[in-house]
Amino acid sequence: MAILQILEFPDPRLRKIAAPVTIFDDKLGALIEDLLATMYEAQGIGLAATQVNIHQRFLVIDVSEERDNPQVFINPSFEVIENELSEYDEGCLSVPGFYETVSRPRVIKVVAQDKAGEKFEIEAEGLMSTCIQHEIDHLNGKLFVDYISTLKRDRIRSKLEKEHKQSA
């Protein structure tokens, strides 16, 4: 198991569109374990493969208080099933230290595959719904800062670029 390096905004690799997973083998299983270990180490509630520079469509989530409910979604997609939005203060391990309110569909149906390639469906609401949508956005090269004003986004970009220069 390995802790992977998390790319940070405005790294252009966060803008790549991930390719569907087609092979469900032990190598994929090992990458999923690494992604989970990296998420827990960083104390996140979700992490997409794109964020660790793996451009394949899978992500991990654990929104439980006890940090003991890892959930894996491979080739995920979702449908909005209720015409209602909910707001959350979102953060992102790729945008450390910044939080902004984002509005997203409140209830969704998610279709995905598990690590054996078996298809499953879940209905998600609340934080889980927001988190899945946030992570699927990563697989499409999209970040939560894309939903806020250009002014706020540019300020966040400048501050992170400055931090990156100082630590380089």
Q: Which of 118, 135, 161, 163 is catalytic?
A: 135
- The span of 10-18, 75-83, 93-101, 149-157 binding ligand QAP (CB under 6 A) equals 93-101
Q: Tell me the C-alpha distance between 9 and 155, whole Å.
A: 12
* Contact between 108 and 79 (Cβ < 8 Å): yes
Position 12 contacts ligand QAP (CB under 6 A):
no
Determine if 124 is a binding residue for ligand QAP (CB under 6 A): no
The whole-angstrom separation of Cα 114 and Cα 120 is 7
Residue nearest to Co ion (CB): 92
Segment 88-127, which members bind Co ion (CB under 5 A)?
Answer: 92
Residues within the annotated binding site for Fe cation? 92, 134, 138
64: Cβ contacts below 8 Å, ≥ 6 apart: none
**Binder among 4, 7, 28, 44 for ligand QAP (CB under 6 A):** 44
8 catalytic residue (yes or no): no
Q: Is 91 in the site for ligand QAP (CB under 6 A)?
A: yes
Q: What are phi and psi of 56, to 5 degrees?
A: -130, 150
Q: Which residues pair with 100 in a beta bridge?
A: 90
Residue for token pair 């959350």: 88
Phi, psi torsion values for 145, nearest 5 degrees: -70, -15
Binding site for ligand QAP (CB under 6 A): 43-46, 88, 90-93, 96-97, 130-131, 134
Binding site for Co ion (CB under 5 A): 92
